[in-house]
């Protein structure tokens, strides 16, 4: 899934395999069987670019991501100041990725992609005492861009079903 904003900021995220491809599921929501490597390439508005690969989403979290992208495209995710517990932003068990809506109008959505730990830029470091989601990239996208991203994630996930 490649998303680019008018200012040149971009993020390209993809499912890059199961963390434990040989693991046989031991029951419903077996965490070990369902961790996915997420690969990403990011270009910030400040010109810094980097890549990462980390097992930071589960199969069911990717399903949540697909739904969130659809809801954001439809204008049903309220803008917020960032990630807040039980709020409109999307966060996951591993704090590497998160999403929030900064602004929304009929023609565009300004989305923040929050990056921390292994997904943060090298200049940000892996400081475990840093505030959650201390780095974010802001992308102004159309509802069609977000719907296309949801479909792209759905297609990727079809190759890595819940086990």
Cα 1 to Cα 6: distance, rounded to the nearest angstrom: 17
Cα 1 to Cα 5: distance, rounded to the nearest angstrom: 13
For the segment 8-26, what is each residue's pLDDT rounded down to a tens digit? Answer: 899 999 999 999 998 887 7
| Own/partner pairs, 29-37, CB within 8 angstroms, 24+ separation | 29/60, 29/162, 30/163, 31/58, 33/163, 34/58, 34/59, 34/60, 34/162, 34/163, 36/62, 36/160
Q: Which residues contact 24 (CB under 8 A, 6 or more apart)?
A: 33, 163
| pLDDT for 132 beyond 60 | no
Q: What is the pLDDT at residue 116? A: 87
pTM listed for this prediction: 0.90
* Section 24-45 average pLDDT: 88
The yes or no reply on domain 2-158 and CATH 1.10.150 is: no
| pLDDT for 44 beyond 90 | no
Q: Which residues contact 14 (CB under 8 A, 6 or more apart)?
A: 1, 38, 39, 40, 156
């Amino acid at each position: 899934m490649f998303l680019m904003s008018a200012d040149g900021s971009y993020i390209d995220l993809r499912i890059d395999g199961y963390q434990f491809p040989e693991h046989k599921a031991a029951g419903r929501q077996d965490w070990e069987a369902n961790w996915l490597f997420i690969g990403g390439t990011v270009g910030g508005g400040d010109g810094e670019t980097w890549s990462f690969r980390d097992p930071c989403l589960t199969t069911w979290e990717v399903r949540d991501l697909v739904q969130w992208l659809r809801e954001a495209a439809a204008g049903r995710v309220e803008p917020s100041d960032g990630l807040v517990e039980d709020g409109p932003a999307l966060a996951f068990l591993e704090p590497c990725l998160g999403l929030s809506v900064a602004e929304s109008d009929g023609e565009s959505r300004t989305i923040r992609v929050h990056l921390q730990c292994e997904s943060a830029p090298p200049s940000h470091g892996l400081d475990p005492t840093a505030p959650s989601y201390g780095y974010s990239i802001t992308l102004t996208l159309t509802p069609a861009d977000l719907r296309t991203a949801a479909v792209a994630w759905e297609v990727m996930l079809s190759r890595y079903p819940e086990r």
